[in-house]
Each structure stands twice: as C-alpha cells, then as structure tokens.
Amino acid sequence: MSTLELKSELQHMIERETDVTILKAIRTILVKTSLDPVLKEKLIVRALKSEEDIKAGRVYSRDEVVKRVK
C-alpha cells in the first residue's frame, strides 16, 4: 500500500469514526510523533553513531555499566 493510499484510507476511517476517545487517541499519537526537527536530527545522528560504535566493538559489558553508574 502506498503512502497516498494509506493516508486516504485513514482519512475515510477518521471521517466515519464517532467515538471521541478514539479520535483523541489518534490525535495524541500524531502529536507525539511530530518531533521538533532539530531534536529529531540530533536523535538520528546519535543513533547512527551508536550503530557505528556497536559494529566497531566499542561497547561496555554489563559489569562495566554497573560500575559506571555507581
């Protein structure tokens, strides 16, 4: 299903929905997933760096993590 088809289906479903609780839940989901673009970019950069660290073996054992947080 393409993005356009999915959006269209969702619009139809929302238009038919009469339960205000469900509509509020959908609204909450959409609001919470709309991150500030700057924050979103920072999170993406961190995630990519973390992936590189893992691939390069730059990780801590469980014991090392416990020692660092104490």
Three-class SS state of 43: helix
pTM: 0.47
pLDDT tens sequence for the chain (70 residues):
899 999 999 999 999 999 999 999 999 888 877 777 888 788 889 999 999 999 999 999 999 999 999 8
Q: Provide the pLDDT for residue 51.
A: 92
The residues, ordered by sequence, that sit 6+ positions from 8 with a Cβ below 8 Å of its Cβ are none
Q: What is the DSSP letter of 33?
A: T
